[in-house]
Amino acid sequence: MSLSRQFAAFVHGLRYEDLPPSVIDRAKGVILQALCSALLAKDMPATREALTLAREEDPGSAATALCSGERFTKAGAAYVNAEMMFAGGKWDTFRMLTHPGVAIMPPALAAAEATGCDGKTFITAIAAAYEVLERMASEFIPTLMSRGFHSGPVFGIFGGAVAAAKIHGLSAEQINGTIAQCVNLAAGNLEGARAGGASLREGGAVRNALLACALGRFGKPSGDTTLEGEAGFYHAYVGNNLGLLRYSFTGDNRVDLSAITKDLGKEWMFLETLYRVYSTAGYNIAHVDVTAALCREHGIGYADIDRIEAVVNWFETEYPSPAFPSRGGDAVVGSTQYFSAYGAVTGGYPLVRGAGPGPGESDPPEVLDLMKRVKIIPMVRRTLFGPRVTVFARDGRVVTKEGTGREFIWDFEAHAKRMAPIAAVAPTYDGVVALCRGLDGVTEKAGPALVAATVGAPG
C-alpha cells in the first residue's frame, strides 16, 4: 500500500485498547501541555487579536474558544485556540522544529465538540495524529526548512486533520482522502519573519486541517501516491521523492521512504515528544536544567565559576535553518548563553516567565555577568537538545555533564507536578489536571469538558 493508505489503515483501525499504557499516559500529558499554554495566554495580546478577528470573520456556534468560552465556527474556534496555545509558549516539541500540540489539539477539540465523543476516542485520536505527523516529519525537517518552508504548519496540518478524521469516525478511504487534501493545503514559509513581518504558523494549518477533513469526509477523490509520488508531497516540499536529504540532524544524507511506516502501531515515535516548559526556543531548555543539575551535583555556585562551555548539535546554532540562519552568537538576554547562566546561578528558570524580563521584572545581575562567559560549541551529529556542559571553576575543578535529549520527557504525574506553578496565575489549573488525568473515564462530551475546564465552568 502507498504511504497514505498505510497511515489511513492505521488511523482507522486504531482502538484505545491497542494503545500501550505509556502512549495513553503521553497523550494525557500533551493534552495537558496544550491547555496549560492556553491558560497562560488567555489575556495576551495575540489572543485578544485572534478573538477580534474571529468575531468579525467566523461568527457562529459550532465550537468554543478555550478560556473565553466564546462560540465561533469550527475553523474560527480552532484558529483562536491555536493562536492562544502558540502565544502561551508552553508547547510540546518534536525534533526541534515542529510543535505538534499547537496543530493537533484545536481541530481535535472542534471535532470533539461536534461529535460529543468520549475521552477514550479523544485520546486515541491524539495518539494517532501525533504518530502520523512525527513519522512524516522526522527525517525531513532540516531539508524542508532549507527550502524556505516552515515544518511546523507544513507537517502540522496532517496531524490536525488526522485527529479530526479519527474523532469523526471516518473510514480508511475517507482518511486517505483527508491526507490527500492536506497535501494540497499544506503551507508555511520562513521569509515573512525574516523580512521583519510575522508568519502565519499553526493558526492557518488548523483551519486547513478541518477543511481537509471535511473534503475527505464528503468523498473528495484522493489518489494513492500523494505523499511519495513523482509529483507528490515529498518531491514538492523536500525536493525529491528518493529520500535524498540536503541536511539532517544526524549527518545522514539519505533515508528510505518505506521506513516512514515501518512498525507502525508497534513502535511509537510519539513517545519522543518532549515538553518545552520554559517559554523559549527548544534548543535553550536543556541548558537550564543540565547546567543547574551539574552545578548542584558538584556544589558549584556563581562565585565559583570561571566559565562554561556547552557542546550542542550544530543545528541549534543555525535556527531556523543553516540555509537561512537568523541567530547571532552574542550573549544577550534570551540567548542560549543567557539560559545556561540562569540555570547555573538560580538552579532553574521561572516557569511562568517569558524568554526575558517582562514589565516590572529584572534579571539577576549574576546571570547577566555569567552569560558573557558561556561558550556554545556546535558539533555535527550531537544529540539534539542534549548539550554536553562543562563548568570550569575558579579553583581549577573541571566538571562535565552529558545531556541526553530526554530531560524534558516525563510521565503524566511528573509533568503535572512540573507545570504546577501555573496554578498561581491560572486558578483553573488543578481542574484541568484532574480532567486530563481521568479523561479515559469521561464517557461522553470530552471536548466540551476540556474546554469548560479552561473557562472554569462545569463540563
Cis peptide before 20 (omega within 30 of 0): no
State the helix-helix crossing angle for 119-137 and 100-115, rounded to 10 degrees: 150
Same domain assignment for residues 226 and 300: no
Tally of domains within the chain = 2
Closest CA to 2 of 161, 140, 173: 173
Same domain assignment for residues 84 and 137: yes
H/E stretch holding 71? strand 71-72
Residue 267, phi then psi, degrees to nearest 5? -105, 130
Same domain assignment for residues 265 and 287: no
Single residue among 361, 383, 402 that ends a domain in this structure: 402
SS3 111: helix
Would you state the cell numbers that stand for residue 274, as one nine-digit string? 518532549
- Contacts of residue 330, Cβ cutoff 8 Å, sequence gap at least 6: none
Same domain assignment for residues 220 and 339: no
Same domain assignment for residues 267 and 120: yes
DSSP state of 226: T
Residue 351, phi then psi, degrees to nearest 5? -65, -35
SS3 169: coil
Model pLDDT, residue 458: 54
Give CA angle at 143 (84, 131), nearest 5°: 55
Same domain assignment for residues 230 and 379: no
- Burial class (CB within 10 angstroms; exposed 0-12, middle 13-18, buried 19+) of 360: exposed
Same domain assignment for residues 209 and 310: no
Closest CA to 374 of 404, 336, 348, 407: 336
Domain hosting 359: range is 282-402
DSSP state of 441: G
Return d(Cα 24, Cα 438) in angstroms, integer. Answer: 11
Half-sphere exposure of 336 (CA within 13 A, CB side): 29
SS3 8: helix
Per-residue pLDDT of the chain (459 residues; tens, 9 = 90+): 999 999 999 999 999 999 999 999 999 999 999 999 999 999 999 999 999 999 999 999 999 999 999 999 999 999 999 999 999 999 999 999 999 999 999 999 999 999 999 999 999 999 999 999 999 999 999 999 999 999 999 999 999 999 999 999 999 999 999 999 999 999 999 998 888 888 889 999 999 999 999 999 999 888 899 999 999 999 999 999 999 999 999 888 999 999 999 999 999 999 999 999 999 999 999 999 999 999 999 999 999 999 999 999 999 999 999 999 987 789 999 999 999 999 999 999 999 998 899 889 999 999 999 999 999 999 999 999 999 999 999 999 999 999 999 999 999 999 999 999 999 999 999 999 999 999 999 999 999 999 999 998 554
Return d(Cα 109, Cα 94) in angstroms, integer. Answer: 21
Model pLDDT, residue 407: 95
Return d(Cα 351, Cα 359) in angstroms, integer. Answer: 16
Model pLDDT, residue 67: 97
Same domain assignment for residues 118 and 164: yes
Return d(Cα 117, Cα 108) in angstroms, integer. Answer: 10
* Parallel/antiparallel/unpaired status of strands 274-275 and 92-93: antiparallel
CATH of the domain at 272: 1.10.4100.10
Same domain assignment for residues 297 and 353: yes
CATH of the domain at 310: 3.30.1330.120
Same domain assignment for residues 193 and 340: no
Single residue among 402, 421, 443 that ends a domain in this structure: 402
Same domain assignment for residues 271 and 295: no
Model pLDDT, residue 459: 42
Same domain assignment for residues 84 and 182: yes
